[in-house]
Amino acid sequence: MGGQREQVFAAIHGSGCQVSGEQTMSANPILAQAFLVELDEIYASLQPQQPVLSRGFVSDLEQVYGSLPVLSDANLLLLAERFEAWRCRTREELRGALTRLPDDDPLRCPISLFRTMDYGRLEVAHTRTLAWLLNPLGEHQFDDKLLGALLRHLSGGNRFDRLSGVEVRREYPIDAASEKGRLDVLAEGKWEDRGKSDAWVLVIEAKIDAWEGEDQLSKYDEWLRSYARNRTLFRVFLTPDGRTAETGDDRWAPLSFLQLVQIFRKVYAELSNAPGFHFLRFYLAGVLQDVCGWPAQVTEDTADPYAVVSYLMTVVDSLSEGTHHDPAR
Protein backbone atom coordinates (compact mmCIF):
# COMPACT_ATOMS: atom_id res chain seq x y z
CA MET A 1 0.00 0.00 0.00
CA GLY A 2 2.86 2.40 0.74
CA GLY A 3 1.59 5.98 0.47
CA GLN A 4 -2.00 4.79 0.09
CA ARG A 5 -2.12 3.89 3.78
CA GLU A 6 -2.01 7.55 4.77
CA GLN A 7 -4.95 8.23 2.46
CA VAL A 8 -6.83 5.30 3.99
CA PHE A 9 -6.27 6.75 7.47
CA ALA A 10 -7.46 10.13 6.22
CA ALA A 11 -10.58 8.56 4.73
CA ILE A 12 -11.32 6.82 8.03
CA HIS A 13 -10.65 9.68 10.42
CA GLY A 14 -12.11 12.29 8.09
CA SER A 15 -15.36 10.37 7.70
CA GLY A 16 -16.90 11.77 10.87
CA CYS A 17 -17.49 8.28 12.26
CA GLN A 18 -18.71 8.81 15.81
CA VAL A 19 -19.95 6.46 18.48
CA SER A 20 -21.72 8.01 21.49
CA GLY A 21 -20.11 11.36 20.69
CA GLU A 22 -16.54 10.09 20.60
CA GLN A 23 -14.37 7.95 18.36
CA THR A 24 -13.77 4.58 20.01
CA MET A 25 -11.01 2.27 18.83
CA SER A 26 -11.65 -1.32 17.83
CA ALA A 27 -11.38 -3.69 20.77
CA ASN A 28 -9.24 -6.09 18.79
CA PRO A 29 -6.62 -4.41 16.56
CA ILE A 30 -5.22 -7.76 15.36
CA LEU A 31 -6.77 -9.29 12.29
CA ALA A 32 -8.20 -12.76 12.85
CA GLN A 33 -6.25 -15.56 11.18
CA ALA A 34 -9.45 -16.91 9.62
CA PHE A 35 -10.02 -13.53 7.95
CA LEU A 36 -6.48 -13.52 6.53
CA VAL A 37 -6.93 -17.04 5.17
CA GLU A 38 -10.18 -16.05 3.45
CA LEU A 39 -8.57 -12.86 2.14
CA ASP A 40 -5.73 -14.92 0.66
CA GLU A 41 -8.23 -17.23 -1.04
CA ILE A 42 -10.19 -14.36 -2.54
CA TYR A 43 -7.00 -12.62 -3.67
CA ALA A 44 -5.70 -15.81 -5.31
CA SER A 45 -9.00 -16.24 -7.16
CA LEU A 46 -8.33 -12.94 -8.95
CA GLN A 47 -5.23 -14.54 -10.52
CA PRO A 48 -2.91 -11.63 -9.67
CA GLN A 49 0.67 -11.28 -10.94
CA GLN A 50 1.93 -11.53 -7.35
CA PRO A 51 0.73 -14.98 -6.11
CA VAL A 52 0.34 -14.14 -2.41
CA LEU A 53 -0.41 -11.07 -0.34
CA SER A 54 2.80 -9.39 0.74
CA ARG A 55 3.69 -9.14 4.41
CA GLY A 56 3.94 -5.39 3.99
CA PHE A 57 0.32 -5.20 2.80
CA VAL A 58 -0.91 -7.34 5.71
CA SER A 59 1.02 -5.16 8.15
CA ASP A 60 -0.50 -2.00 6.68
CA LEU A 61 -3.95 -3.59 6.77
CA GLU A 62 -3.57 -4.40 10.47
CA GLN A 63 -2.59 -0.79 11.21
CA VAL A 64 -5.62 0.52 9.34
CA TYR A 65 -7.88 -2.01 11.07
CA GLY A 66 -6.49 -1.04 14.47
CA SER A 67 -7.43 2.59 13.82
CA LEU A 68 -11.08 1.87 13.04
CA PRO A 69 -13.84 3.02 15.39
CA VAL A 70 -16.30 0.46 16.70
CA LEU A 71 -18.02 -0.93 13.64
CA SER A 72 -21.64 -0.22 12.85
CA ASP A 73 -23.68 -0.15 9.66
CA ALA A 74 -23.77 3.66 9.77
CA ASN A 75 -20.01 3.96 10.22
CA LEU A 76 -19.28 1.51 7.44
CA LEU A 77 -21.60 3.36 5.07
CA LEU A 78 -19.83 6.64 5.85
CA LEU A 79 -16.47 4.99 5.28
CA ALA A 80 -17.68 3.48 2.00
CA GLU A 81 -18.75 6.93 0.84
CA ARG A 82 -15.29 8.32 1.66
CA PHE A 83 -13.58 5.56 -0.30
CA GLU A 84 -15.91 6.05 -3.27
CA ALA A 85 -15.22 9.80 -3.26
CA TRP A 86 -11.47 9.11 -3.11
CA ARG A 87 -11.74 6.73 -6.09
CA CYS A 88 -13.81 9.25 -8.10
CA ARG A 89 -11.29 12.03 -7.47
CA THR A 90 -8.44 9.72 -8.49
CA ARG A 91 -10.21 8.79 -11.73
CA GLU A 92 -10.72 12.48 -12.50
CA GLU A 93 -7.02 13.13 -11.94
CA LEU A 94 -6.20 10.13 -14.14
CA ARG A 95 -8.44 11.36 -16.96
CA GLY A 96 -6.80 14.78 -16.97
CA ALA A 97 -3.24 13.47 -16.70
CA LEU A 98 -3.72 11.01 -19.58
CA THR A 99 -4.62 13.86 -21.92
CA ARG A 100 -1.26 15.52 -21.16
CA LEU A 101 0.81 12.36 -21.56
CA PRO A 102 3.50 12.61 -24.28
CA ASP A 103 3.09 10.30 -27.27
CA ASP A 104 6.42 8.58 -26.63
CA ASP A 105 5.69 7.82 -22.95
CA PRO A 106 6.09 4.11 -22.00
CA LEU A 107 2.49 4.12 -20.79
CA ARG A 108 1.37 4.73 -24.39
CA CYS A 109 3.59 1.95 -25.75
CA PRO A 110 1.80 -1.39 -26.39
CA ILE A 111 5.07 -3.26 -26.98
CA SER A 112 6.73 -5.13 -24.12
CA LEU A 113 10.42 -5.79 -24.70
CA PHE A 114 10.42 -9.34 -23.32
CA ARG A 115 6.84 -10.57 -23.65
CA THR A 116 7.24 -11.98 -27.17
CA MET A 117 9.89 -14.35 -25.73
CA ASP A 118 7.83 -15.14 -22.59
CA TYR A 119 10.57 -13.43 -20.57
CA GLY A 120 8.36 -10.67 -19.15
CA ARG A 121 8.82 -11.90 -15.57
CA LEU A 122 12.19 -13.59 -15.95
CA GLU A 123 14.46 -12.13 -13.26
CA VAL A 124 17.72 -12.64 -15.12
CA ALA A 125 16.36 -10.82 -18.20
CA HIS A 126 15.54 -7.82 -16.03
CA THR A 127 18.77 -7.78 -14.01
CA ARG A 128 20.98 -8.12 -17.08
CA THR A 129 19.06 -5.33 -18.79
CA LEU A 130 19.28 -3.18 -15.67
CA ALA A 131 23.04 -3.65 -15.45
CA TRP A 132 23.36 -2.61 -19.10
CA LEU A 133 21.16 0.45 -18.69
CA LEU A 134 23.08 1.62 -15.61
CA ASN A 135 26.47 1.23 -17.30
CA PRO A 136 27.65 4.68 -18.50
CA LEU A 137 29.69 2.97 -21.23
CA GLY A 138 26.75 1.05 -22.71
CA GLU A 139 25.96 1.30 -26.41
CA HIS A 140 22.74 3.09 -25.46
CA GLN A 141 24.83 6.26 -24.96
CA PHE A 142 22.83 7.32 -21.90
CA ASP A 143 26.09 8.21 -20.15
CA ASP A 144 25.38 8.11 -16.38
CA LYS A 145 21.87 9.64 -16.53
CA LEU A 146 20.00 6.56 -15.27
CA LEU A 147 22.65 5.59 -12.73
CA GLY A 148 22.79 9.15 -11.42
CA ALA A 149 19.00 9.26 -11.05
CA LEU A 150 19.01 6.02 -9.06
CA LEU A 151 21.87 7.12 -6.80
CA ARG A 152 20.18 10.42 -6.09
CA HIS A 153 17.00 8.59 -5.11
CA LEU A 154 18.85 6.19 -2.82
CA SER A 155 20.90 8.93 -1.18
CA GLY A 156 17.89 11.08 -0.40
CA GLY A 157 18.43 13.58 -3.19
CA ASN A 158 22.19 13.97 -2.79
CA ARG A 159 23.51 16.34 -5.47
CA PHE A 160 26.88 15.84 -7.10
CA ASP A 161 28.81 17.37 -9.97
CA ARG A 162 29.65 14.15 -11.75
CA LEU A 163 30.29 10.45 -11.48
CA SER A 164 33.69 8.95 -12.28
CA GLY A 165 35.43 5.59 -12.39
CA VAL A 166 32.13 3.72 -12.68
CA GLU A 167 32.09 -0.05 -13.17
CA VAL A 168 28.85 -2.02 -13.49
CA ARG A 169 28.84 -5.82 -13.40
CA ARG A 170 26.05 -8.35 -13.57
CA GLU A 171 25.80 -11.70 -11.74
CA TYR A 172 28.95 -10.93 -9.81
CA PRO A 173 30.23 -14.08 -8.03
CA ILE A 174 31.04 -13.86 -4.33
CA ASP A 175 32.35 -16.30 -1.75
CA ALA A 176 31.25 -15.57 1.82
CA ALA A 177 31.95 -17.94 4.73
CA SER A 178 32.25 -20.90 2.35
CA GLU A 179 28.90 -19.96 0.82
CA LYS A 180 28.97 -18.98 -2.83
CA GLY A 181 26.50 -16.66 -4.45
CA ARG A 182 25.98 -14.09 -7.18
CA LEU A 183 25.00 -10.45 -6.84
CA ASP A 184 22.44 -9.55 -9.51
CA VAL A 185 24.01 -6.14 -10.11
CA LEU A 186 27.18 -4.68 -8.58
CA ALA A 187 28.22 -1.12 -9.41
CA GLU A 188 30.91 1.03 -7.90
CA GLY A 189 32.59 4.35 -8.53
CA LYS A 190 33.00 7.86 -7.17
CA TRP A 191 30.86 10.94 -7.08
CA GLU A 192 32.44 14.35 -7.04
CA ASP A 193 30.97 17.52 -5.56
CA ARG A 194 32.81 20.86 -5.51
CA GLY A 195 36.20 19.20 -5.67
CA LYS A 196 35.44 16.59 -3.03
CA SER A 197 35.39 12.94 -4.11
CA ASP A 198 33.56 10.12 -2.29
CA ALA A 199 33.48 6.44 -3.24
CA TRP A 200 30.29 4.34 -3.30
CA VAL A 201 29.14 0.78 -3.94
CA LEU A 202 25.68 -0.16 -5.23
CA VAL A 203 24.19 -3.67 -5.03
CA ILE A 204 20.81 -4.68 -6.47
CA GLU A 205 19.07 -7.96 -5.65
CA ALA A 206 15.86 -8.53 -7.64
CA LYS A 207 13.02 -10.96 -6.99
CA ILE A 208 9.91 -11.22 -9.16
CA ASP A 209 8.21 -14.58 -8.66
CA ALA A 210 10.79 -16.01 -6.25
CA TRP A 211 11.59 -15.47 -2.57
CA GLU A 212 14.93 -15.05 -0.87
CA GLY A 213 17.09 -18.07 -0.33
CA GLU A 214 17.93 -19.13 3.22
CA ASP A 215 19.84 -16.24 4.83
CA GLN A 216 20.65 -15.06 1.29
CA LEU A 217 21.03 -11.35 1.98
CA SER A 218 22.69 -11.95 5.34
CA LYS A 219 25.42 -13.83 3.51
CA TYR A 220 25.72 -10.99 1.04
CA ASP A 221 25.98 -8.53 3.95
CA GLU A 222 28.98 -10.36 5.36
CA TRP A 223 30.81 -10.18 2.06
CA LEU A 224 29.76 -6.58 1.35
CA ARG A 225 31.03 -5.27 4.68
CA SER A 226 34.48 -6.46 3.77
CA TYR A 227 34.27 -5.41 0.12
CA ALA A 228 32.83 -1.91 0.59
CA ARG A 229 34.98 -1.02 3.60
CA ASN A 230 34.85 2.76 4.04
CA ARG A 231 32.82 3.43 0.89
CA THR A 232 29.16 4.47 0.96
CA LEU A 233 27.14 1.29 0.44
CA PHE A 234 23.70 1.20 -1.19
CA ARG A 235 21.76 -2.07 -1.01
CA VAL A 236 18.56 -2.37 -3.05
CA PHE A 237 15.94 -5.12 -2.78
CA LEU A 238 13.90 -4.82 -5.99
CA THR A 239 10.49 -6.55 -6.14
CA PRO A 240 7.11 -6.05 -7.84
CA ASP A 241 5.45 -4.79 -4.64
CA GLY A 242 8.42 -3.12 -2.96
CA ARG A 243 8.34 -5.55 -0.05
CA THR A 244 10.88 -5.48 2.76
CA ALA A 245 13.66 -8.07 2.69
CA GLU A 246 13.25 -10.93 5.16
CA THR A 247 16.97 -11.68 5.47
CA GLY A 248 19.90 -9.32 5.78
CA ASP A 249 19.97 -6.16 7.87
CA ASP A 250 17.53 -3.27 7.61
CA ARG A 251 19.78 -1.29 5.30
CA TRP A 252 18.49 -3.19 2.27
CA ALA A 253 16.28 -0.50 0.74
CA PRO A 254 12.98 -1.90 -0.58
CA LEU A 255 12.21 -0.67 -4.10
CA SER A 256 9.28 -1.62 -6.31
CA PHE A 257 9.58 -2.00 -10.07
CA LEU A 258 7.08 0.85 -10.41
CA GLN A 259 9.37 3.09 -8.35
CA LEU A 260 12.26 2.08 -10.60
CA VAL A 261 10.26 3.10 -13.67
CA GLN A 262 9.42 6.43 -12.01
CA ILE A 263 13.08 7.07 -11.17
CA PHE A 264 14.11 6.45 -14.78
CA ARG A 265 11.12 8.42 -16.07
CA LYS A 266 12.42 11.57 -14.38
CA VAL A 267 15.36 11.73 -16.83
CA TYR A 268 13.65 9.92 -19.71
CA ALA A 269 13.10 13.02 -21.88
CA GLU A 270 16.80 13.86 -21.73
CA LEU A 271 17.60 10.58 -23.49
CA SER A 272 15.27 10.94 -26.48
CA ASN A 273 18.11 11.46 -28.98
CA ALA A 274 20.26 8.60 -27.67
CA PRO A 275 20.51 5.37 -29.73
CA GLY A 276 19.06 3.32 -26.86
CA PHE A 277 15.98 5.47 -26.28
CA HIS A 278 13.42 3.13 -27.86
CA PHE A 279 14.98 0.11 -26.15
CA LEU A 280 14.43 1.93 -22.85
CA ARG A 281 10.87 2.82 -23.89
CA PHE A 282 10.01 -0.81 -24.72
CA TYR A 283 11.68 -2.01 -21.52
CA LEU A 284 9.80 0.40 -19.24
CA ALA A 285 6.54 -0.42 -21.04
CA GLY A 286 7.24 -4.10 -20.43
CA VAL A 287 7.89 -3.53 -16.72
CA LEU A 288 4.57 -1.70 -16.36
CA GLN A 289 2.68 -4.42 -18.25
CA ASP A 290 4.44 -7.67 -17.28
CA VAL A 291 5.69 -6.94 -13.77
CA CYS A 292 3.23 -4.32 -12.51
CA GLY A 293 0.30 -5.99 -14.31
CA TRP A 294 -1.00 -2.88 -16.09
CA PRO A 295 -2.90 -3.25 -19.39
CA ALA A 296 -1.19 -2.34 -22.66
CA GLN A 297 -3.71 0.48 -23.07
CA VAL A 298 -4.38 2.26 -19.76
CA THR A 299 -7.67 4.15 -19.49
CA GLU A 300 -9.44 5.97 -16.68
CA ASP A 301 -11.30 2.71 -15.91
CA THR A 302 -8.10 0.84 -15.04
CA ALA A 303 -8.35 -1.49 -12.04
CA ASP A 304 -5.70 0.40 -10.03
CA PRO A 305 -6.03 4.11 -10.82
CA TYR A 306 -4.02 5.06 -7.72
CA ALA A 307 -0.75 3.51 -8.94
CA VAL A 308 -1.23 4.94 -12.43
CA VAL A 309 -1.82 8.44 -11.04
CA SER A 310 1.34 8.08 -8.95
CA TYR A 311 3.26 7.31 -12.13
CA LEU A 312 1.62 10.15 -14.06
CA MET A 313 2.54 12.65 -11.34
CA THR A 314 6.18 11.70 -12.00
CA VAL A 315 5.65 12.48 -15.68
CA VAL A 316 4.07 15.83 -14.85
CA ASP A 317 6.94 16.69 -12.52
CA SER A 318 9.54 15.79 -15.14
CA LEU A 319 7.78 17.93 -17.75
CA SER A 320 7.56 20.89 -15.38
CA GLU A 321 11.31 20.71 -14.73
CA GLY A 322 11.87 21.03 -18.48
CA THR A 323 15.05 20.34 -20.36
CA HIS A 324 17.19 22.30 -17.92
CA HIS A 325 17.27 19.47 -15.42
CA ASP A 326 20.74 17.97 -15.08
CA PRO A 327 20.72 14.68 -13.13
CA ALA A 328 24.27 15.19 -11.94
CA ARG A 329 23.74 18.68 -10.49
Residue of 251 and 248 predicted with greater confidence: 251
Q: Coil, strand or helix: which one is 28?
A: coil
How many other C-beta atoms are found inside a 10 Å radius of the C-beta of residue 186? Answer: 21
Average pLDDT along the chain: 83
Q: What is the pLDDT of residue 2?
A: 46
Q: How far apart are the first and last CA of the chain?
A: 32
Q: What angle do CA 26, 32, 35 make, to 5 degrees?
A: 115
Q: What is the pLDDT of residue 21?
A: 37
DSSP 290: I
User: How confident is the model over 24-45, as pLDDT tens digits?
Assistant: 434 455 667 777 777 777 777 7
**DSSP string of 184-248?**
EEEEEEEEEETTEEEEEEEEEEE-SS--PPTTHHHHHHHHHHHHHTTSEEEEEEEESS-PPPSSS
Q: What is the pLDDT of residue 282?
A: 98
pLDDT band at 20 (very low <50, low <70, confident <90, very high): very low
Sheet strand arrangement including 179-193: 162-176, 179-193, 196-206, 232-239, 252-256
Which residue type sits at 73? D
Q: How far is CA 194 from CA 156, 162, 170, 215, in A?
A: 19, 10, 31, 41
Burial of 173 (0-12, 13-18, 19+ CB in 10 A): exposed
User: pTM for the complete prediction?
Assistant: 0.78
pLDDT band at 22 (very low <50, low <70, confident <90, very high): very low
pLDDT band at 12 (very low <50, low <70, confident <90, very high): very low
- Return the closest-CA partner of residue 203 out of 238, 242, 179: 238
276-287: average pLDDT:
98
Q: What is the pLDDT of residue 63?
A: 74
Q: What is the pLDDT of residue 112?
A: 96
Looking at 67-76, 158-167, 188-197, 242-251, which range is the least confident one?
Answer: 67-76
User: How confident is the model over 156-186, as pLDDT tens digits?
Assistant: 877 788 899 999 999 999 976 656 789 999 9
d(CA 141, CA 135): 9
Give the CA count within 13 Å in the CB-facing half-sphere of 97.
26
User: How confident is the model over 109-145, as pLDDT tens digits?
Assistant: 999 999 999 999 999 999 999 999 999 999 999 999 9
Q: Coil, strand or helix: which one is 122?
A: coil
273-279: average pLDDT:
98
Q: What is the pLDDT of residue 329?
A: 38
